[in-house]
Amino acid sequence: MHSFISKNNGVRGWLSRLGADSNVSLDRLAWVETAFNAAWTGPTSTPFITDIQTRGDLLDEAAHFAHEIPLWRLFNSAPTLAVWAVLIPLARNYGISTNEVYRHISRFVGESFDEQEAREDLKTRYRRTARALGLPVFGNEPTGLFFAPLGPAHAHHGDLARAFVGAALHIGPPAIEDTASARRWQRRVVADRCAGLARLKATIAFDTSAHVARRFEAWRQGESPVGDTEAHLFEAYDQAARSLGRSRADIVGPPRLVWTGDHLTLETETSRELQSLRLGAIPTRLAGGKRLQVPPPWRPTIRWTAGTLSRDIPLAPAEGEVLVFDADTGAMLSRLSSEQGEMEIAAERLIVLSGAPFTSLSFGDAIPAKDASFRIAWVNANETLAFEGRSDLSFTRPVEDAIWIDAPVLGRDGSRALYACNGGLQVRIDPEIGGPTRIIRTRIGGQVRFHQVDLGATGELRMAFADAHLEALADPAEVLFEVLTPGAAGDLEARVALTTRCWIWPGISAPDGDLADVPIPANFDPARSAGLRAIDGRLSVDPEADQETPILGLSGPDRVHEFRLVARGEKLWHFRVARGDRVYVPRGATLVFGHANRHDALILRSPDRDASLLVLGRETRRPFYRRQTIEIGAADLEEDTEDDRIALRRADGRVDLLARLRRATDPAGLEISEAPDEIRLRFTPRTDCDALRVRIEPVRGALIEGEYAFGRAPLDLPSLQGVRTTRDPATSQVEVILDPSQLPAPARATFLLRDNAGVLLPLRDVRNAPVAIGLAGEINTPQRGHLLDLARFLAEPQPDSLGGQIGRALSPAYEAALNHVGKSHMLGSIKPLLAVVREDRQPPRHDLIGAAPWIFEASPIAFGDLDTDTGLAPISDMAGEPSPVPPPRVDGDTPLSDWLGRVSTGAGIPTGFQADRLQHAFQALRWRLKETDLHDLVGEETLAGTVKLICGAHVEGLEKLRSFDPGGGADPLPARIAAQVERLARSCAERRSHAFVDDVVFRTGLPRREVGQVLTLMLRVGVEFFAYFRALWAHASKDGSPSA
């Protein structure tokens, strides 16, 4: 501002320079008004109208107009100038010469306000004009009307400086990147340290944009002051620092408290000063800008040292205190004392930590934190927490102006969050102050964008990131959102009322699972990243990486940020004690634990806080609320139960299978491991052998073979490209390594061992199942021949030790071929599939029900002419069987039980549906379970475990059904299998078999392929039950009352 203010003792000197010239040009007045308004909302402007930065001669002219034109007229014709004229004398002279408010105003404008009526008229006109300009003035007292929008008066600069400098040394400087946080800081400081200065507190409360705190940080960073008023204030800051024996460079704030994962973490301020924290007997030294995770137990205070300064800083909540964190960023929002019962929150999701038990509507009872002496909960804004030992705590939306982010978080770097683009900006502004229209300025990189928004009557607004053109793919970057002051134009330097800063990845929405197949950004720093895979210009979380939390390194304007990516999908690792390593477990895999694995553990990461964990039939409720990663120890895995699942039960009841656990006694040590570029098979032959033959059977292609020597005998065939073998002479273990990229696919690989007599013997497991590996691939135009070849490969039993690898590899191609060939849903199109049999004449094991449940919705007569070895021929035996009179009903609650009650009486039952048919069906089922390899359904293998899971649900009428099973005492499993086959038959008769399979998958969490295969085998083992009930319920659906 013009230098005469300091030279001529304020406004009186200003007036003396104007002389006696009182000529007034209305056009010139209008020009000055326009210039004043532009200066107040433009570059270097502040929320305080008295700090208008413009030319000295223009200020002289404005003062001339204020003295010569009646104030009431000025309020109408030049409102900005009029409000400035009322406040500028108070800003310069109040508290220096006198504290009489109206005398200062009177001297400047040349009007008397001695009479009460004149004062009231002044206040009325001023209040109306100021609010129209966007100044939120209220009430009728000078403190709220005049001193709130005034800015700190010169007389208060010393008090304010001592308060701010002292607070910065004690609690740390303000976090200016967050308007709400900086606003709370300056209000708290003035309230605590300037308690008797009501008019200073009023102007600090008025400053909703936290301008005073921002400019204090500018002083601390060594910036130059803007204007005479700020120069006076900066000098006061210098004097306050000197009085404490400090300089601005010495002011280092204590570490900020943030929440990371399940820990309290301290984040030190960037500074040249070496800092340390005393966690134990020896201080832990930290460089500026680093973070330290505080291990439990968490003490109320911790000793912090920076240079020569050393003091205790608060850490864990004291008795009655509550710590509130932003769940998205981890930043601490507030430390609430026991007297505080309400808090305005500019956030969507919160973390609450307290030493007292408490409960919330959204979370329920708080759970123990990492330090079990504290309780923690994840809650929503706009709810009330009920505590033991202190008053309830309510969270409410901000009443005054606020700005915050509401978006999915991709990753976190300390208290900084990287947001996805499918979020938005939340704004709360009083529309009565300055009107409902605002301009939001967005800065990202070197780009600046403007968006005009309408707040509406409520003053609340959500601007989607897409409205800021952040939906277009671009590199992740720091984005600055600024709400301009009312009346500000959309220019690069217009004054800001609210601001918030965050990192956003434009064009990348929050994925359902982990980050996958996104373009590699230009600012990606691989050296500062971990747990990621970069291939062909695309970036993905590496599912097989040992890294529990992937780290995305991104170069920013000041430093490289290491964003720890949020877990959006489950990840399971097998920790192998004997080898001292851990390996990734693909979803749905079968883990085979032998004697060497007796001490092994599993490590599971999940972001689903509401999920329950199922481990071998034991359920743990919501273990992921406190942390995302838990260990399933050896003690939890050693119990042998009928349930072999490691799974999650979601809040809606759906079960998602992660893995299955089997105990192996196979002395051959058969095991398999898979990677994107290779498959490794290991085994120890049970007899001496001198060579291995590898056979590759492509779908609809010529068979290829190769041999590999273990001794000196010559080979009959050369080796295959893409297949390598090794043999350990000490243990005789053989390892076969297949490179899928060099082999035909889809295909099946089988293995034959040549003994010392030159005889080739197929490699089989301890149960005599052939060892085979599937090579996954696609078929461009599937034909019936492709389908039959794939069915033949999948019809064979699979070794448990291989974890269903061949099924996982070949089932996608099999299902695609079945969908293509059978797209008409006519049984004739795929009937040869039903005729696929095994060479050993045992029941084939390829899936029919999961891949194409519509097959069994066909009429029973359509299954005629099938060979007995297929196991499906009995379905057609019931074709043409007359309906019972009256027909059975399926619309009741107990259709099976009701029907079995009728069968027991024998009244009105045709021959084909009488009790002896059910007895014969049980005899046939038990014979197959004993005499064929379908005994695997009730043994100790993986198939048996799946059967027990599928049949484990309640069966109405089970005891009635068992009454038809002669010799079935103490063994209800065959009856449960029969009941499940009856349910399948009923769904087929009602043409809802697809929904039936969906429901079983939902209930058990098993893969659809596995559920379908086991249901198909259950149908084959109990085919007479299926034939019986398929025909019976078809009569009910046709003649009775079908179920919905």
Instruction: Decide which of 675 and 782 is more confident.
Output: 782
Range with the largest mean pLDDT of 17-26, 300-309, 346-355: 346-355
Nearest to 482 by CA among 516, 510, 444, 513: 444
Q: Could you tell me the end-to-end alpha-carbon distance of the chain, in angstroms, rounded to an integer?
A: 83
Return d(Cα 571, Cα 586) in angstroms, integer.
Answer: 8
User: Does pLDDT of 7 surpass 60?
Assistant: no
3-state per-residue secondary structure call for 971-1033:
CCHHHHHHHHHHHHHHHHHCCCHHHHHHHHHHHHCCCHHHHHHHHHHHHHHCHHHHHHHHHHH
Res 581: pLDDT: 76
Res 8: pLDDT: 33
Close Cβ partners of 470 (under 8 Å, ≥ 6 residues apart): 421, 444, 479, 504, 506, 507
User: Does pLDDT of 3 surpass 60?
Assistant: no
Asked which of 139-143, 271-275, 405-409, 761-765 is least confident by mean pLDDT, the reply is 271-275
Instruction: Decide which of 998 and 906 is more confident.
Output: 998
Distance of CA 62 to the CA centre of its chain: 57
For residues 112-128, give the mean pLDDT: 88
pLDDT-based confidence at residue 22 (cuts at 50, 70, 90)? very low
Res 1044: pLDDT: 35
Res 19: pLDDT: 38
User: Does pLDDT of 1043 surpass 70?
Assistant: no
Nearest to 792 by CA among 843, 837, 747: 837
User: Does pLDDT of 678 surpass 60?
Assistant: yes
DSSP one-letter code for 155? G
Q: Which helix (H) or strand (E) holds 326?
A: strand 322-326
Res 14: pLDDT: 39
Return d(Cα 353, Cα 335) in angstroms, integer.
Answer: 10
Please list, residue by residue across 812-843, b when 16 or more beta carbons sit within 10 angstroms of its beta carbon and e when fewer do: ebbbbbbeebbeeeebeebbebbebbbeeebb
Instruction: Decide which of 247 and 606 is more confident.
Output: 606
pLDDT-based confidence at residue 400 (cuts at 50, 70, 90)? confident
* Tokens found for residue 225: 């002051």
Amino acid at 644: D
Instruction: Decide which of 722 and 7 is more confident.
Output: 722
For residues 903-908, give the mean pLDDT: 80
Unique residue bearing structure tokens 């040292």: 305
Q: Which residues pair with 419 in a beta bridge?
A: 409, 504
Range with the largest mean pLDDT of 176-185, 458-467, 785-794: 785-794
For residues 155-174, give the mean pLDDT: 87
Instruction: Decide which of 625 and 929 is more confident.
Output: 929
Amino acid at 979: A
Res 666: pLDDT: 57
> pLDDT exceeding 70 applies to what percent of the chain?
94
Fold of 671-821: Immunoglobulin-like (2.60.40)
Res 845: pLDDT: 93
Res 1039: pLDDT: 53
Instruction: Decide which of 561 and 310 is more confident.
Output: 561
Nearest to 773 by CA among 790, 793, 749: 749
For residues 543-572, give the mean pLDDT: 84
Asked which of 105-119, 453-467, 965-979 is least confident by mean pLDDT, the reply is 965-979
Close Cβ partners of 925 (under 8 Å, ≥ 6 residues apart): 974, 977, 978, 1021, 1022, 1024, 1025
User: Does pLDDT of 969 surpass 70?
Assistant: no
pLDDT-based confidence at residue 970 (cuts at 50, 70, 90)? low
Return d(Cα 1041, Cα 1044) in angstroms, integer.
Answer: 9
3-class state of residue 572 by DSSP:
strand
Q: Which residues pair with 284 in a beta bridge?
A: 277
Q: Do 149 and 203 meet the contact criterion of CB atoms below 8 Å apart? A: yes
> pLDDT exceeding 90 applies to what percent of the chain?
32
Looking at every residue in the chain, the average pLDDT score rounds to 85
Instruction: Decide which of 144 and 948 is more confident.
Output: 948
CA dihedral 485, 487, 493, 496 (to 10 degrees): 0
Close Cβ partners of 744 (under 8 Å, ≥ 6 residues apart): 696, 698, 701, 704, 775, 777
Q: Where are the domains of the chain?
A: 4-147, 154-250, 256-314, 518-565, 571-649, 671-821, 855-1039
Pairing of strands 496-504, 416-419: parallel
3-class state of residue 562 by DSSP:
strand
**pLDDT tens readout for residues 476-512:** 999 999 988 876 766 777 778 888 889 999 999 988 8
Res 668: pLDDT: 62
**pLDDT tens readout for residues 812-851:** 999 999 999 999 999 989 999 999 999 888 999 999 999 9
Distance of CA 958 to the CA centre of its chain: 44
Res 21: pLDDT: 42
pLDDT-based confidence at residue 430 (cuts at 50, 70, 90)? confident
Res 399: pLDDT: 78
pLDDT-based confidence at residue 468 (cuts at 50, 70, 90)? confident
For residues 544-548, give the mean pLDDT: 72
